[in-house]
Amino acid sequence: MARILAVDDDVAILDMIGAILGKDGHEVTKTGDPTKLELDKINQYDLILLDIMMPGIDGFELCTKIRNLVDCPILFITAKTEEGSLVNGLALGADDYICKPFGVMELRARIGAHLRREKREHFARLAVGRICFNLSEKMMMVDDEQITLTKAEYEICEFLAKNHGQVFSKEQILESVFGFDNESNDNTITTHIKNIRTKLSNYDYMPIKTVWGIGYKWTE
Amino acid sequence: MARILAVDDDVAILDMIGAILGKDGHEVTKTGDPTKLELDKINQYDLILLDIMMPGIDGFELCTKIRNLVDCPILFITAKTEEGSLVNGLALGADDYICKPFGVMELRARIGAHLRREKREHFARLAVGRICFNLSEKMMMVDDEQITLTKAEYEICEFLAKNHGQVFSKEQILESVFGFDNESNDNTITTHIKNIRTKLSNYDYMPIKTVWGIGYKWTE
DNA sequence: GGGATAAAAATAAAGATTTTATAAAGATGG
DNA sequence: CCATCTTTATAAAATCTTTATTTTTATCCC
């Protein structure tokens, strides 16, 4: 289900973590010697568990290094229960801080929550700014008022709004919305965008921005 | 900085949370009566704090309802310390579970971590000195303020900043940014550099240094 | 060291090119 | 036939490139 990296010098704990998470269907990579961690392959994991007090290397330092390389959740699992250590750890870019001895259920629940969130954020947003989508009915609403869009217009809006902020070229939009084998002219997208903008202009709303030379993006 | 909704029937705690987070620059909306919460406006918040045991409504139920409407982080703050309650809460779509009495520093650290993560996930970033690139949005920011660059300007900046410290000739920049088959005049680069510098000078920032007779490099 | 000189870079502004917006006609498919 | 999608042609906008000129920097020679 998820590829998880566990770094801890305590092999007993490592094995336990591996067993628990393995049962939940995750693929767990266990590392007992953090000094041998290959950082150039670190971005293959979906979630990383880190101990703090380890021989040879400081978990905090390691966290900083890893955070500079990846965006995935990093969770400290540690015997250091002081609040200051937690604050420090989270400030370094970690996402959670679990104190040993931890409850098995808590560990599973927290990891589950982090993975779920990752999915959630990656996935669709139904409501973006003044816009709201009803995916099953293929409807778009502005301020709770329904807008009549054609299918192509709707798909473009949904795609851009779901990935709002990000810029997409006309080719990318064509591909994502109408499939990779589509051979339409780029101007098709230009025209659709124009029509969408015309319809939204009735609401004084102009969420699709042109990024010159690159493409379009949905912004608030 | 962030718009935070806090829901708790204990007004003393509510006020304390409001004061703490207000100091951190957040805009806190406090709700002592969860039954009066207007769910249709719930998506205006960046993060939501929820108590579990409240008169009239169950925090778990409320969490489920809210999670169906928004994607933002939801944090339980509760006196229920049993592991089962934590597991249940996280399973319902919450992102964290903080037990009362909580440390002020821990609360701030955890909220900070959740907000930071939200940012992180939405953008592929590259930070060099005062500059931060948002690669997916093709945006460059100085001190968190966006700078309007043309495509060529942006590409040159991204290239130089990614390889900061290293010197590149105009030919190399042309080749790297516009492709090996580009036959433009070298002055094209000079002009672009000039325009970039003009835009950055508004921020008293001059990261592109001239290396006489050789080329340009990005330095802090 | 200092002034003349040449080379490189910065600047400013005009011209060329590219990209996007718009409008309207043609094609497609139910 | 109608709504929608696609294409074409043209206009408009933004950007890129070039040219010409000025300024800066380095070098050479005395």
What pLDDT band is residue A14 in, cutting at 50, 70 and 90?
A: very high
Cβ–Cβ contacts within 10 Å for residue A54, how many?
20
- Residue range B162-182: average pLDDT? 88
Contact B158, B133 (CB under 8 A): yes
Q: Do A95 and B117 touch (CB under 8 A)?
A: yes
Chains A, B: CB contacts within 8 A come to 83
Between residues 34 and 53 of chain B, which touch chain A (CB distance below 8 Å)?
A: 43
Residue A179: predicted pLDDT: 80
Residue A208 pairs in a beta bridge with: A218
CATH class of the domain at B125-218: mainly alpha
The answer to whether A190 CB sits below 7 Å from nucleic acid chain C is: yes
pLDDT at B115: 94
Nearest one of B52, B45, B51, B63 to B115, comparing CA atoms: B45
Residues in chain B: 220
Chain A residues touching residue B95 (CB < 8 angstroms): 113-114, 117
pLDDT at A101: 92
Scanning A82-111 for CB atoms below 8 A from B yields 83-84, 86-87, 90-91, 93-96, 103, 105-106, 108-110
pLDDT in tens, A118-144: 877 655 456 677 888 876 677 898 988
- The answer to whether domain B3-118 and domain B125-218 are alike in fold is no
Roughly what angle, to the nearest 10 degrees, separates helices B186-201 and B151-162?
A: 90
Query: Pairing between strand B74-78 and B47-50?
Result: parallel
A179 C-beta less than 7 Å away from strand D? no
**B212 strand D contact, CB < 7 Å:** yes
Q: What does the alpha-carbon distance between residue A209 and residue A67 come to, in Å, rounded to a whole number? A: 31
| pLDDT for res B75 | 98
Q: Delimit the domains of chain A by residue range.
A: 3-118, 125-218
User: Within 7 Å: CB of A134 and strand D?
Assistant: no
How far apart CA A162 and CA A147 sit, in angstroms, is 17
Task: Tell me whether residues B83 and A90 touch, CB distance under 8 A.
Answer: no
Length B144 CA → D24 C1' (Å): 34
**pLDDT tens-digit profile of B11-37?**
999 999 999 999 999 999 999 999 989
pLDDT score, position A122: 55
Asked whether the predicted pLDDT for residue B122 surpasses 70, the reply is no
Residue A125 CB: number of other CB atoms within 10 A?
18
* CA pair distance A13, A30, nearest whole angstrom: 10
Instruction: Return the pLDDT at B135.
Output: 78
pLDDT at B27: 95
Q: First-to-last CA distance in chain A?
A: 34
* Chain segment B126-150, per-residue pLDDT in tens: 778 888 888 777 889 998 788 999 9
Q: B145, B107, B108, B139: which is closest to B125 by C-alpha? A: B139
Return the pLDDT at B137: 79
Tell me the average pLDDT of chain B.
Answer: 91
CATH class of B3-118: alpha beta
Nearest to B95 by CA among B73, B110, B68, B62: B73
Where residue A38 falls (left for φ over 0; alpha for ψ -120 to 50; beta otherwise) is beta
pLDDT of residue A126: 64
DSSP chain A: --EEEEE-S-HHHHHHHHHHHHHTT-EEEEES-GGG--GGGGGG-SEEEE-SEETTEEHHHHHHHHHHH--S-EEEEES---HHHHHHHHHTT-SEEEESSPPHHHHHHHHHHHHHHHHHHHS--SEETTEEEETTTTEEEETTEEE---HHHHHHHHHHHHTTT--B-HHHHHHHHH-TT----HHHHHHHHHHHHHHHHTTT---EEEETTTEEEE--
Measure the CA–CA gap between A36 and B109, rounded to whole angstroms: 30
The per-residue pLDDT for range A100-113, each reduced to its tens digit, is 999 999 999 999 99
pLDDT at A124: 46
For residues B166-180, give the mean pLDDT.
90
How many whole angstroms separate alpha carbon A75 and alpha carbon A115? 12
Distance B117 CA to D3 C1' (A): 45
Higher pLDDT, A175 or A79: A79
Q: How far is A88 from A102, CA to CA, in rounded Å?
A: 20
